[in-house]
């Protein structure tokens, strides 16, 4: 379906920062570039507005939405809660093949030569755990959040120096708990791991936006 195709392409363009914040999108230009009519483009942009990527102002135009600290905090909080839920369930359902995959990923993370490489391995590590939870609904529900958070996060900064070492230590502890099928411990370790990352991302985002993250959380 062309609307779905247009949505996926334009969304990826936004995530890859092909546009600047608050930039007005040219529907005709997008239609020409994607070799489509205006209709699927307009429908795709409506869906992108629902997911928080653009703002549509009637009679004016479509603009790239500047992420706000409050929205980032709300999405992060929800995403962490769902991720922790899936990790807990993974302790009951994960199989030996998936544990072997996690073990290989952990070894590769130890030998990663760049933050970008480590980031990709970190993503694969978490996705393997969440997929092993056997809860497709939770996984699909959170996918749009993951995409958005990847768009606005500063993951390269998280994996610098001692942050990366600490992250890897926490991964090892989570892996051991999964091996032992200790759902309670997996939940506790994963929540601590993700909440720490959440705090880091919010603080870094606030610095760049010159906003106090504490006021947003309490407001």
What backbone phi and psi angles, to 5 degrees, belong to 133? Answer: -70, -15
> Tens digits of per-residue pLDDT, 37-58?
999 999 999 999 999 999 999 9
Please give the mean pLDDT across all residues of the chain: 89
Say whether both 75 and 153 belong to one domain. yes
What does the pLDDT read at residue 21?
86
Structural domain ending residue among the three candidates 64, 85, 118 = 64
Say whether both 114 and 142 belong to one domain. yes
What does the pLDDT read at residue 169?
95
Count the domains in the chain: 2
The answer for 37, left when phi > 0, alpha when psi is -120 to 50, beta otherwise, is beta
CA distances from 95 to 73, 92, 188, 207 (A): 33, 9, 21, 42
Structural domain ending residue among the three candidates 64, 88, 110 = 64
Say whether both 108 and 162 belong to one domain. yes
Return the CATH number at 82. 1.20.120.530
128 close to 105: Cβ distance less than 8 angstroms: yes
Say whether both 74 and 26 belong to one domain. no
Range of the domain at 200: 69-218
> Tens digits of per-residue pLDDT, 84-136?
999 999 999 999 999 999 999 999 999 988 888 988 899 899 999 999 999 99
Say whether both 87 and 185 belong to one domain. yes
Calculate helix-pair angle for 96-110, 161-179, nearest 10 degrees: 160
106/112 Cα distance (integer angstroms)? 10
Say whether both 106 and 138 belong to one domain. yes
Say whether both 154 and 49 belong to one domain. no
Q: What share of the chain in percent tops pLDDT 70?
A: 92
């Amino acid at each position: 379906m062309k609307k779905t195709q247009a949505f996926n392409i334009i969304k990826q363009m936004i995530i890859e920062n092909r546009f600047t914040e608050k930039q007005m999108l040219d529907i005709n230009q997008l239609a020409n570039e994607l070799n489509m009519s205006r209709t699927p483009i307009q429908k795709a942009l409506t869906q992108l507005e629902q997911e928080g990527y653009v703002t549509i102002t009637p009679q004016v135009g479509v603009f790239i939405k500047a992420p706000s600290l409050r929205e980032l905090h709300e999405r992060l909080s929800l995403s962490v809660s769902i991720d922790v839920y899936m990790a807990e369930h993974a302790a009951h359902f994960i199989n030996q093949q998936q544990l072997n995959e996690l073990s290989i990923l952990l070894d590769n993370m130890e030998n990663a030569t760049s933050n970008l490489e480590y980031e990709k391995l970190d993503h694969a590590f978490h996705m393997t755990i969440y997929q092993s939870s056997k809860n497709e609904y939770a996984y699909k529900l959170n996918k749009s959040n993951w995409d958005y958070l990847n768009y606005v996060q500063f993951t390269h900064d998280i994996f610098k120096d001692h942050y990366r070492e600490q992250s890897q230590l926490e991964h090892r502890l989570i892996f051991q708990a999964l091996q032992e099928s200790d759902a309670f411990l997996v939940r506790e370790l994963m929540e601590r791991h993700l909440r720490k990352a959440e705090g880091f991302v919010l603080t870094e985002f606030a610095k760049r936006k010159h906003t106090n993250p504490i006021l947003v959380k309490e407001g």
